[in-house]
Structure 1
Amino acid sequence: MENRSPYVVNAPSISIIMLKVLLALIPGIALYVYVFGLGVIINILLASVTVILTESAILAIRKLPIKPFILDGSGLVTAWLLALSIPSIAPWWIIILGTILCIIFGKHLYGGLGYNLFNPAMVGYAILLISFPSIMTHWQIPSNLMIGHTDWLDQIKVIFNSNLLSKETLDAMSSATPLDYIKTQLTLNQPLATIQQDKIFGFVGGRGLELINLGYLAGGLYMLKEKIISWHLPVAFLSTLFVSALLFNIISPDTFASPLFHIMSGGSILCAFFIITDPVSAPTTPKGKIYFGMGIALLVLIIRLFGGYPEGIAFAVLFLNICVPLIDSLTQPRIFGHK
């Protein structure tokens, strides 16, 4: 009799999966360029070249074949996520250094793809944030809000040599993020309603960030449709972030921003669909994914509201990465026939 066991067939290759992830990022990137200019494209290009050169060097040192590992696309996904996580007008060497840190300490130190304990992009981001807090928390304001509508050429000058521009031009191009601005102004006893009247705020979140997050949401829905990711992680993360932020907002609306603000301001949507869904450093069980997403959301909100950094995604993700083996062990489904 012919064996017709229900084996999985025609499973997509790693390179196809990673290609679809990169495609899913394009709507958000396109809107990022529309709102903030070409800086993010320069970051992506620098990160992409750096990741290819770095991985090639490490694979050569490890005496492993270079071509299949470079073509699997995992390094490019890490590079793009880091490029989208750092300020788009950061000095050129920041993205190069961060990408090298991602690949060495986030990926190959543990053996390469499939063995990394931590999300590689968040490893690089966290090291950069701790080492260069001033650079990593000084973001570009939307192009249409810049004094004199600073052009893209000025952005390129800032990235490669900020000395070419005057201090007035630099000040006109950059500011704190909405999350950071709220935290700073609250320490000066300013009411939240007054704080959110600043020009960097939009309808429910940061001006321009709302549009970019909608782009990331479109890409995330595409990945759900293609079955690249499951619903457990993004739904658990976003719903927990929404509910917990809502509770704080109800308790003290003059101090704590609305839940929609927390979802549409920072990197919440990018985190929900592209960062915590890393298949290697996230749990494998359905229940584990839900607990993982919930835990990250709670830590993100706690750091945003009470921590020393305006954004807590990287630290929350890395902390929960440590807990993944325990989460998986506690959420394994019961084996059929066993009590």
Structure 2
Amino acid sequence: MSQPIIISASPHVHSSKTSKKVMYDVVIALVPAFLVSLYVFGFSALLLTAVAVISCILFEFLIQKYLLKTEVTVADGSALITGILLAFNLPAGLPIWMIVVGSLVAIGVAKMSFGGLGFNIFNPALVGRVFLLVSFPVQMTMWPLPDGITGATTLGIIKEGLMFGNTMTDISAQLPSNMDMFLGITAGSIGEMSALALLLGGVYLLIRKVITWHIPVTILATMAVMTGVFWVVNPESYASPLIHILSGGAILGAFFMATDMVTSPMTRKGMIIFAIGIAVITVVIRLFGAYPEGVSFAIIIMNAFVPLINKYFKPRRFGAKIKSKIV
């Protein structure tokens, strides 16, 4: 007797790419930035990352096994990435107990309370980071410098200087050089400083087709255009586009946070709308808000709009006819 024919619903598409493989591709892409953080901050960066990763994995395991009583899926790599990205958004030297609290919020509140991987609305690592920033603003804004002392970030120096009536010409003497920002020899969260390392990781993700160019390129291009307009109109009151791109979490957010598959739109048009929204909110907060940085807030806000974006920018149904104009 011949093998029975099994009929299932279309589309009949198969791919060797699994969630686990995608997650570990992201981990590989984050290695260059992690190595830079070790070079700049040494053991502090290693300890911070280790605590965040172990905490996230442990909390996910405990919640799945003892609270939800579902299959334990910590081996899929998602908790690992959440831990790394949370650490990358924190200053070196943050107290260990705060890192653990941030991990609990990221996994327990932002991820598992929605049902786990694939169901969360907001990026878990960013929720953990924003919770810590709002709850412990002093500790979250103490930025160790490469020489061991603490100081302000590039965006913080600019925000404070302009607030006290200084011009960009006056402030520029206090800023790190563009090359230092590009390489990552400056103050900031441990994983957001080196533009070079993050771009290398982003290119890897593009080559591996884990992400597409639409979100990161649109975010950075929109930020460059918006800040460029203000800079051209009044260069003494606004920083140049290059400073805005190289400093803060712009590149980290564009390539590694906003591109999260679960919390970003499905279609290319939706991705572009989503990315423009992130860039606009980021620039508005940076230029006119109380905080010098706005990437985390912008991504979380736009995460909330993803269901609406997906509703109005739906992918074409498999097998649907494309309407053509008769010439």
CA RMSD of aligned residues (A): 2.0
Q: Which residue of 2 aligns with 1:186?
A: 162
* Residue-pair matches, total: 306
Q: Which residue of 2 aligns with 1:237?
A: 219
227, 249, 271: which is aligned to 1:289? Answer: 271
Would the alpha carbon gap of residues 54 and 331 (structure 1) be closer, same or farther in structure 2, given more than 3 Å must change?
Answer: same
* The one of 17, 21, 27 aligned to 1:16: 21
Aligned to 2:129: 125
**Aligned equivalent of 2:33, options 28, 31, 46:** 28
Displacement of 1:92? 1.3
d(CA) in 1 for partners of 2:169, 2:93: 29
Counterparts of 2:41 and 2:303 in 1: how far apart (Å)?
32
Contact 2:162 2:237 (C-alpha < 8 Å) held by counterparts: yes
Q: Report 1:302-321 matches (<5 A).
A: 302-321=284-303
- Contact in 1 for aligned 2:26/2:81 (Cα 8 Å): yes
Q: Aligned letter for 2:46? A: I
Asked whether the 8 Å contact 1:129–1:136 carries over to 2, the reply is yes
* Structure (1 or 2) with the greater helix fraction: 1
Q: Unaligned regions of 5+ residues in structure 1, if any? A: 151-172
Contact 1:204 1:261 in 2 (8 A): no
Is 1:110 aligned with 2:104? no
Q: CA deviation at 1:37?
A: 2.5
Q: What is the match of residue 162 of structure 1?
A: none
Match for residue 64 of structure 2 among 59, 64, 75: 59
CA contact under 8 A between 2:53 and 2:82: conserved in structure 1?
no
TM-score by length of 1: 0.86
Distance 1:194 1:327 in 2: 43
The answer as to whether partners of 1:19 and 1:73 remain within 8 angstroms in 2 is yes
Map residues 1-339 of structure 1 onto 2, 5 A cutoff.
7-60=12-65, 61-66=67-72, 69-141=73-145, 143=146, 146=147, 150=148, 173-198=149-174, 200-203=175-178, 206=181, 208-209=185-186, 212-333=194-315, 336-337=320-321
Give the letter aligned to residue 310 of structure 1: P
User: Cα offset for 1:19?
Assistant: 0.6
2:196 maps to a residue whose letter is: L
Shift of 1:44: 0.9
Alpha-carbon offset, residue 20 of structure 1: 0.8
Q: C-alpha displacement at 1:204, in angstroms?
A: 6.1
SS of corresponding position for 2:79: helix
CA–CA distance in 2 between the matches of 1:45 and 1:36?
A: 14
What's the CA shift for 1:334? 5.3
Work out the CA distance in 2 between the residues paired with 1:270 and 1:203.
Answer: 17
Measured after TM superposition, the shift of residue 203 of structure 1 is 2.2
Query: Following the alignment from structure 2 to structure 1, what is the Cα–Cα distance between the partners of residues 15 and 265?
Result: 24
How many angstroms does 1:85 deviate by?
0.4
Deviation at 1:328, TM superposition (A): 1.2
String of CA shifts for 1:42-86, please: whole Å, max 9, x gaps: 1110011111211111001111122xx110000111110010101
Task: For residues 78-97 of structure 1, give each alpha carbon's deviation from its aligned partner in whole angstroms, at most 9, with x where no partner exists.
Answer: 11001010101111112111
Which residue of the partner structure matches residue 168 of structure 1?
none
How far the C-alpha of 1:333 sits from its partner, in A, is 4.6
Alignment deviations for residues 200-250 of structure 1 (CA, whole Å, 9 cap, x no partner)? 512267462597121011000000000001111111111101111101111
1:302 and 1:72 mapped to 2: Cα distance?
Answer: 37
Identity, % of aligned pairs? 40
Preserved contact between residue 82 and residue 121 of structure 1 (Cα < 8 Å): yes
TM-score scaled by length of structure 2: 0.89
- Alignment CA distance shift 1:204-1:295 (3 Å): farther
SS at match of 2:194: helix
Q: Structure 2: any 5+ residue segments left out of the alignment?
A: 187-191
Alignment correspondent of 1:166: none
